[in-house]
């Protein structure tokens, strides 16, 4: 029987962190829609958050599926990262992205009150900023795809356009969404001086998951003895970092700035929040 090495322990910790952050982040999807279900209302929440989440997690699901399941993408990754040829995307990343996409679709559907017999909130519509990000993401991936097919050479090289650039485009869409999806809600909380409609349990689970995701990425890169494994998986790296930064903003709003303050009688943002396809 072979002795357990430090590398074995590190791999076990990485595996544990991976499924732990998967569990924490997956659970974080539920407090907000469950709160809306309990109150029979989406008042106090911007529709931008679930709308952008759908775009982000769909893009993340596409990119993680490619890195886990597509041999050609994995080959191109290895070509660009010869000292760390194994992508740091894991199967739990793929399952997390799929689960997130499904739950975000359900949450978004709650902004159609007739579907759920919810209270009708006056003037809920997607903001022009959210719509710009929504359509801009589609255009960005389309342009990248066009460039790949126009300039891809006969053989893959580290500097040539390749299918992996399309997958990276989806990864960057997820980064942009993560950076922007919390901003409308943080701004809305500031305008109404309350976080009463916002489920802080979701933020705690998101914060814990972000810490564990970042630790797993660091351990995986250390095991490969090449820190390019971190930059080679930008979606996972910045997903964790951006989420942690915005989590801190919500903690400050909830526990310090607007602690105990109720929602106003009427939502004040009448022209900036409505479902995209209403």
Rounded to whole angstroms, the Cα distance separating 207 from 182 reads: 13
Q: What pLDDT sits at residue 179?
A: 77
Report which of 171, 169, 177, 246 is spatially closest to residue 210, judged by C-alpha positions.
246
Q: Could you tell me the pLDDT band of residue 270, with boundaries at 50, 70 and 90? A: very low
SS3 content of the chain, % helix, strand, coil (to 5): 70, 0, 30
Give CA separation, 213 vs 16, 21, 66, 67, 225, in Å.
11, 6, 19, 17, 19
Q: What pLDDT sits at residue 160?
A: 79
Is 270 or 69 the better-scoring residue by pLDDT?
69
Q: What pLDDT sits at residue 235?
A: 58
Q: What pLDDT sits at residue 22?
A: 80
Q: What pLDDT sits at residue 269?
A: 46
Instruction: Of 73-87, 107-121, 175-189, give the range with the top mean pLDDT.
Output: 107-121
Give CA separation, 104 vs 12, 29, 98, 150, 203, in Å.
31, 7, 10, 35, 15
State if pTM tops 0.85. no
Is 81's pLDDT higher than 70? yes
Q: What pLDDT sits at residue 37?
A: 93
Q: What is the DSSP string of 79-118?
A: HH-TTS-S-S--HHHHHHHHHHHHHHHHHHHTTSHHHHTP
Q: What pLDDT sits at residue 101?
A: 93
Q: Could you tell me the pLDDT band of residue 5, with boundaries at 50, 70 and 90? A: confident
The per-residue pLDDT for range 22-75, each reduced to its tens digit, is 889 889 999 999 999 999 999 888 899 999 999 999 999 999 999 999 999 988
Q: Which long-range contacts (CB under 8 A, 24 or more apart) does 214-220 make?
A: 214/240, 214/241, 214/244, 215/17, 216/14, 216/17, 216/18, 216/21, 216/90, 217/88, 219/10, 219/13, 219/14, 219/17, 220/14, 220/88
Q: Could you tell me the pLDDT band of residue 197, with boundaries at 50, 70 and 90? A: confident
Q: Could you tell me the pLDDT band of residue 275, with boundaries at 50, 70 and 90? A: low
The per-residue pLDDT for range 205-240, each reduced to its tens digit, is 999 988 888 888 788 777 766 655 555 556 567 767
Would you say 58 and 131 are in contact if contact means Cβ atoms under 8 Å apart? Answer: no
């Amino acid at each position: 029987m072979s002795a357990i090495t430090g590398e074995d322990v590190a791999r076990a910790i990485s595996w544990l962190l991976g499924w732990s952050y998967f569990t924490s982040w997956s659970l974080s999807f539920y407090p907000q829609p469950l709160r809306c279900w309990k109150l029979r209302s989406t008042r106090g929440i911007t529709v931008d958050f679930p709308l952008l989440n759908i775009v982000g997690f769909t893009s993340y699901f596409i990119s993680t599926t490619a890195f886990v399941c597509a041999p050609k993408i994995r080959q191109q990754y290895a070509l660009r990262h010869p000292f760390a040829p194994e992508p740091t995307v894991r199967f739990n990343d793929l399952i997390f992205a799929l689960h997130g996409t499904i739950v975000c679709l359900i949450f978004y559907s709650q902004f159609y009150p007739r579907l759920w017999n919810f209270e009708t909130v006056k003037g809920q519509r997607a903001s022009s900023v959210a719509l710009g990000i929504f359509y801009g993401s589609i255009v960005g991936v389309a342009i990248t795809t066009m460039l790949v097919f126009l300039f891809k050479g006969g053989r893959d090289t580290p500097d040539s356009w390749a299918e992996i650039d399309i997958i990276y485009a989806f990864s960057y869409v997820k980064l942009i969404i993560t950076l922007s999806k919390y901003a409308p809600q943080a701004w809305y909380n500031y305008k109404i001086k309350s976080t009463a409609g916002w489920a802080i349990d979701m933020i705690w689970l998101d914060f814990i998951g972000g810490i564990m995701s970042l630790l797993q990425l660091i351990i995986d890169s250390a095991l490969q003895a090449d820190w390019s494994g971190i930059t080679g998986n930008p979606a996972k790296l910045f997903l964790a970092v951006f989420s942690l930064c915005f989590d801190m903003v919500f903690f400050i709003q909830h526990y310090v700035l607007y602690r105990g303050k109720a929602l106003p009688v009427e939502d004040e943002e009448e022209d900036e929040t409505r479902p995209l396809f209403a």
